[in-house]
Amino acid sequence: MASLADVSREAGVSVATASRVLNGATHPVSADTRSRVLAAAERLGYSPSALAQALVTRTSRLIGVIVSDIVNPYFSVIARGVDDMSTRAGYVTMLSNADRRTSSEITRLQTMRDYRAAGVIFAGSGYVDDPRTPELAKAVAAARERGVLSISLTERDIDCPVITADNRAAAYDLTDHLVSQGHRRIVFVEGPAGMVATEQRRAGFLDRMTEAGLRDLAECVEGGFDFEAGHAAALRVLASRDLPDAIVAANDEAAVGALNALRQARIDVPGQVSVAGIDDLPVARFVGLTTVSLPLYELGAMAARRVIDAGTAGPAPEPGPPVVLPHRLVPRETTARRP
Amino acid sequence: MASLADVSREAGVSVATASRVLNGATHPVSADTRSRVLAAAERLGYSPSALAQALVTRTSRLIGVIVSDIVNPYFSVIARGVDDMSTRAGYVTMLSNADRRTSSEITRLQTMRDYRAAGVIFAGSGYVDDPRTPELAKAVAAARERGVLSISLTERDIDCPVITADNRAAAYDLTDHLVSQGHRRIVFVEGPAGMVATEQRRAGFLDRMTEAGLRDLAECVEGGFDFEAGHAAALRVLASRDLPDAIVAANDEAAVGALNALRQARIDVPGQVSVAGIDDLPVARFVGLTTVSLPLYELGAMAARRVIDAGTAGPAPEPGPPVVLPHRLVPRETTARRP
DNA sequence: ACGTGAGTGGAAAGCGTTTGCCGTTTCCGC
DNA sequence: GCGGAAACGGCAAACGCTTTCCACTCACGT
């Protein structure tokens, strides 16, 4: 557990000098001294205390990411993006699950702030008219004062950079695909009530349907972002009337749930009904689900990159318009041209 | 960004006193002083620098978890267990992906050690005869010297507490289920070559088959832990000879892959062939896969708990035998009695 | 000879805590 | 009333680093 003092003693120099050679300061150091210090550090197996460094420099190489639930692949892909970028730059990732509770997001942010994280990335979508958002916004501002840069991966009423995907456009493009395949009666399985992402995706669906003059044939049913919700929604669709041409779920997991319900009911997909989702999670590939690929990994990576850059390049021009990363339609086997 | 000094000034006491009231030290403080400090802290919105605290106490409230890939549900469930427990105790989780590279595990451990993490949890299984394991062991020892407690979730040649599940028994029990359903010709789709978990699961399978006098009908085929591997393996099984009674995959993901291949080939599961996996990941429930539920969440939670307890209860009796958490057979719809 | 300045190295001031060690009081028991 | 122990509060020393400021040594030009 050699400290810098140990190294400097071993090398016969002051801690100042040791520090300078060990972290490439601008201050000149003779080649001889330098190598003596390096040798001493090597001999002692020295590695600096990140804590002490962080304390004195008032910023750490810690990057926090606050997700709703890391078990949800949507978030784990984002987290992976963050971690890959962090690791590459010598940072380490702090992870926290907030279970979609804004209050938890606040607490976690504060904890990370107390560790002087260089940045905190908010991966979860917020709620529409969430009464707690102002509180979060205040916490974000307070954190910024301590030097932690917050970044949101969805648009929220927080004053911080946004790096995001276009949910509305994703749903729009997906719907467009279905429409262009000749489908007319399409039901949309909504996401969890009140979430911003839910609204956006629904809007994209409705917009395209309206443009296609199919507004009357468009139907939105209650759903959720999980398997069960999609399953239940499909069951309800099955029970209520004759089959629609297609079912668009608010995300892949719900789509897979719907798919299962349909297949259990011996409905041929895509023969009788087409099914599609949004996100392009790993599971979508497994089941051949048509979906829209969202740049989840890239979102995480880019957010981390931004935090890192802000650290090295000084307090950058913070605000700036939201960065929107491109999505991409991925047609697979659960959709087909309408007979 | 009020510091303790600010609080003490505001309250008209020394930082020592302020510190004492703010962290319930044993040192007595008058009620009056106490409330003055508390009020000052409140007024200033004080919150301690976790860094400074960690620096002086030589231990942080940071718990690291090193996984192979957080996108893999096996690991994200473990991470979730860790984080839930950590959060509850006021700790924060550091996450790192090592992609099964022992060298990465070493680097990540060192980084976490430099932050004086209270503990680091190794979630990934090691390789048989991995030449780098001794290096890892050394790093673990070095970390322990700095006060960081390592815990492994699989048996490895590292000197640290082990909290694990019994892979061999899990495979054994699963095979037993199949055997008791009358299946005789069973093929086992192995995990990635060289991994300890792979060996253990294969052994469990083989043990039960041997006991049942079915050793000759048992067949192990190359596979992997992912969808594609299971898919490919099933294809090979399909091509080579007449159908086996059942296919046991080394894990759920591979099982789902196999399942897909079978269904695409119009093989009825479980009518003609039974299929089962190990892990009980969320996806298993989706597809109704018979599997063995491993206490992944609990493993993570218990490991975190142990780290936390070690912190409060002093350097506990480290060694102790491996703790083995129970698994549970979960029969679902992909297995059935042999016709 | 003598200022000048680049090249080098060190002393020391923090960063924000915790805590051991000491003074004061204050309070009891006798 | 007196001795001694609590009770209470402060000083200051760490913890391990970064960085400012200063001092010194040489070449160098004049």
Could you give phi then psi for residue B64, rounded to 5 degrees?
A: -95, 150
pLDDT value at residue A26: 82
B270: which strand partners? none
Show residues of chain B in contact with A46, CB under 8 Å: none
Is A16 near chain B, with CB under 8 Å?
no
DSSP A67-84: ES-TTSHHHHHHHHHHHH
Q: Which nucleotides of D are covered by protein (CB under 7 A)?
A: 7-12, 14-21
Interface probe, candidates A3, A6, A49, A51, chain B, greatest B C-beta count within 10 A: A51
pLDDT value at residue A316: 54
Assign A145 a pLDDT band (cuts: 50, 70, 90).
Answer: confident
pLDDT at A146 over 90: no
Q: Which is it for strands A328-330 and A186-189: parallel, antiparallel or unpaired?
A: unpaired
For residues A291-300, give the mean pLDDT: 98
Question: Based on the number of CB atoms within 10 Å of its own CB, is B5 exposed (0-12), middle (13-18) or buried (19 or more)?
Answer: exposed
Assign A315 a pLDDT band (cuts: 50, 70, 90).
Answer: low
Interface of A with B in 181-240 (CB under 8 A): 227
Entry field: residues in chain A: 339
- Are the beta carbons of B201 and B131 closer than 8 angstroms? no
Burial string for B255-277 (b: 16+ CB within 10 Å, else e) reads bbbbbbbbeeeebebbeebbbbb
Please choose, from the candidates B98, B85, B70, B107, the residue with its C-alpha nearest in 3D space to the C-alpha of residue A300: B70
Say whether the CB atom of B29 is under 7 angstroms from strand C: no
Contacts of B143 (CB under 8 A, 6+ apart): B109, B110, B112, B113, B120, B150
Which B residues between 133 and 152 have a beta carbon under 7 A from any strand C atom? Answer: none
Report angle CA A288, A292, A295 to the nearest 5 degrees: 115
Cis, peptide link before residue A270, omega less than 30° from 0? yes
Is B71 near chain A, with CB under 8 Å?
yes
pLDDT value at residue A327: 98
Is B121 near chain A, with CB under 8 Å?
no
Interface of B with A in 267-306 (CB under 8 A): 282-283, 285-287
Q: Which residues of chain B have pLDDT under 50?
A: none
pLDDT value at residue A115: 97
- Angle between helix axes B31-44 and B15-22 (nearest 10 degrees) is 90
pLDDT at A317 over 60: no
Could you give phi then psi for residue B132, rounded to 5 degrees?
A: -90, -10
Show residues of chain B in contact with A285, CB under 8 Å: 227
- Contact B92/A115, CB-based, under 8 Å? yes
pLDDT value at residue A311: 80
- Contact B71/A70, CB-based, under 8 Å? no
Closest chain A C-alpha to B304 CA, distance in angstroms: 14
- Are the beta carbons of B304 and B85 closer than 8 angstroms? yes
pLDDT value at residue B319: 67
For the record, the structure tokens of A157 come out as 């009423």
pLDDT value at residue A205: 98
pLDDT value at residue A236: 95
pLDDT at A313 over 60: yes
pLDDT value at residue B145: 87
For residues A260-270, give the mean pLDDT: 92
Say whether the CB atom of A32 is under 7 angstroms from strand C: yes
Distance A2 CA to D25 C1' (A): 32
Show residues of chain A in contact with B1, CB under 8 Å: 145-146
For the record, the structure tokens of B330 come out as 């979960």
A119: which strand partners? A63, A149
Instruction: Residue A255: count other Cβ atoms within 10 Å of its Cβ.
Output: 31
Please give, one letter per residue, the 3-state secondary structure of chain B. CCCHHHHHHHHCCCHHHHHHHHCCCCCCCCHHHHHHHHHHHHHHCCCCCHHHHHHHHCCCCEEEEEECCCCCHHHHHHHHHHHHHHHHCCCEEEEEECCCCHHHHHHHHHHHHHCCCCEEEECCCCECCCCCHHHHHHHHHHHHHCCCEEEECCCCCCCCCEEEECHHHHHHHHHHHHHHCCCCCEEEECCCCCEHHHHHHHHHHHHHHHHCCCHHHEEEECCCCCHHHHHHHHHHHHHHCCCCCEEEECCHHHHHHHHHHHHHCCCCCCCCCEEECCECCHHHHHHCCEEEECCHHHHHHHHHHHHHHHHHCCCCCCCCCCEEECCEEECCCCCCCCC
Minimum Cα–Cα distance from B228: chain A residue: A286
Write the pLDDT tens digit of every residue in A9-53. 999 999 999 999 998 778 888 999 999 999 999 999 999 999 999
| Spatial distance between the Cα atoms of A143 and A159, rounded to a whole number of angstroms | 12
pLDDT value at residue B315: 57
| Spatial distance between the Cα atoms of A1 and B144, rounded to a whole number of angstroms | 10
Say whether the CB atom of B15 is under 7 angstroms from strand C: yes
Instruction: Residue B329: count other Cβ atoms within 10 Å of its Cβ.
Output: 15
pLDDT value at residue B182: 96
A164: which strand partners? A324
For residues A153-162, give the mean pLDDT: 94
A216 DSSP assignment:
G
Say whether the CB atom of B128 is under 7 angstroms from strand C: no
For residues A177-181, give the mean pLDDT: 97
What is the nearest nucleotide to B31, using C1' and CA?
D8
| Spatial distance between the Cα atoms of B332 and B231, rounded to a whole number of angstroms | 20
What dihedral do alpha carbons A60, B89, B317, B127 form, nearest 10°?
A: -60
Which among A49, A62, A256 has CB closest to B286? Answer: A256
